[in-house]
Amino acid sequence: MKEISITDNVISTLSWDMRVNLPPKAAIYRAETIAYLSEKLYSMKTSPELKELCDKLSSKKDNDSISAAMVKRALNEYKKLTDIPAKLYSEFAEHNLKTELLWQEARAKNDYVMLKNSLEKQFDYKRQFAECFGYVQNPMDWLVADGEEGMTTDKLDKIFDELKSEVMKLLDKIKNSGIKYDREFIYGKYPIEKQREFCKQMVIKAGYDFEAGRLDESAHPFSFSNDKTDIRMTTRYFEHNFLGGTLASMHEMGHSVYAQNHSDDLCGTTLDHGTSFGWHESQSRFYENIIGRSKQFWVYFLPLAKTYFDCLKDIKLDDFYNSLNAVYINPLRLNSDELTYNLHIIIRYEIENMIFSGQVGFDELPDVWNKKTEEYLGIRPKNDAEGILQDVHWASGHIGTFQSYVLGNCYDGHILNKIKKEIPDMFEQIGKGKFDDIFNWLKKHIHVHGRIYDPAELLNLVTGEELAPSHYINYLNQKYSEIYKL
């Protein structure tokens, strides 16, 4: 397991370097290098020796929870990988990297046609993977379960239907409230170098350990982990709007502190990861939205921001908070507000379903994307960069995973409901710049467990509940009712 972990970490480090530092001419050779290592990793994870050892250990009755979970995960992955031909796995790994680099160029040139054939091949790889496991009719069934163990498309559709209905009702109330807040109210001149320093101070205060991490810049913010001693994240800055970098930094910090605070006992095992995509997103979105968009967070951080940025000098807290949380109808997911973000994700999930069911082809994809955006958000993307090309996920092979963001929101509803009972003055503490109690609560109840538990098991352990959108819907209604006086 240690050998597997080290090889995986080498691949991850090379992938991080590709996104942050790689010279353009090195892209092809780097892709071939990672493909070679991926094939070696595949061989280790599917070796007869590993299977034999896991079979022996799985029959033991006195395994501790870590050993039992590690054996279970290893056997599950063995089965998953042995059902996928090695050549197909290697080809996919290489195609991922090439397509992601091509996406960067296509997005910069606003040219979907450049990416179309490679993107179609990405979806075809996922279809082939699903077929290896017997999911011939609907690959989304496998993709959903692969990202969130125990989740099904039926369960997900019910959660999304309820959430979509409630978000659109709330959105209509806001539109009819007669109150309009302008996000551009806090736009101004924010020197990039000062943003870098502010974001660094902010994430340190909130709990990020720079002795075990980095904060760099990339075209699309992401976080990366080897083990808990090497957790790296990236953000991106905009000179006219420092909230883009601020909120992206808080988001990636949530992923990163999750990884920095797994139990030491999990190092070098297959459990030194988050429980699932959805649980990882719950931690990133908890820091970005529940904490980072709260008024109390800016009670503490706005005075600090004013020492960095002159254009904030005369802005009052309430005006800043309302502008920060203004419902901002726009075609870009990463620029959206907390409320309509959910609709952006549901659009992507529905399009993925349409692709795999054959309802839409890749020539039609930009138009389908634009029509759905207009239907749900009332705005139409002006071009490919604002529409189909805005996200890296499909190009990098993360197909059938967008739902994780909204699942993370729903987990956050449960977490917030629970944590407020145990730390009633949570937000008052945030207003004083005190994050220790919240940080330690998340660490104790969620972070230390890594991937020992299945998603549903962890939620039950933390809250005693089953996943539902109701707590999150209540949070949204309460927050936006106060802001828009509904």
Residue range 227-285, pLDDT digits in tens? 899 999 999 999 999 999 999 999 999 999 999 999 999 988 888 889 999 999 999 99
Q: Count CB-CB contacts under 10 A for residue 358.
A: 7
Quickly tell me which residue has 């995973």 as its tokens: 401
What is the C-alpha separation between 8 and 82, in angstroms, rounded? 18
pLDDT at 296 over 80: yes
- Average pLDDT for residues 77-104, to the nearest whole number? 88
pLDDT at 70 over 90: no
pLDDT confidence of residue 312: 96
Q: Which residues pair with 234 in a beta bridge?
A: 216
pLDDT band of 31, cuts 50, 70, 90 = confident
Q: What is the pLDDT of residues 299-350, one digit of tens each?
A: 999 999 999 999 999 999 999 999 999 998 999 998 899 999 999 999 999 9
Active site residue 374: no
Give the residue extent of every domain in the chain.
2-136, 153-484
- Pair type for strands 223-225 and 213-217: unpaired
Amino acid at the residue 254: G
Catalytic residue among 149, 166, 252, 288: 252
Q: Which CATH architecture has domain 153-484?
A: Orthogonal Bundle (1.10)
pLDDT confidence of residue 128: 95
135-139, 283-287, 401-405, 453-457: segment of lowest average pLDDT: 135-139
pLDDT confidence of residue 19: 82
Question: How would you label 231-265 residue by residue, b for 16+ Cβ within 10 Å and e otherwise?
Answer: bbbbbebeeebbbbbbbbbbbbbbbbbbbbbbbee
What is the C-alpha separation between 406 and 338, in angstroms, rounded? 11
Which DSSP letter does residue 217 get?
Answer: E
Max Cα distance, the chain (Å): 68
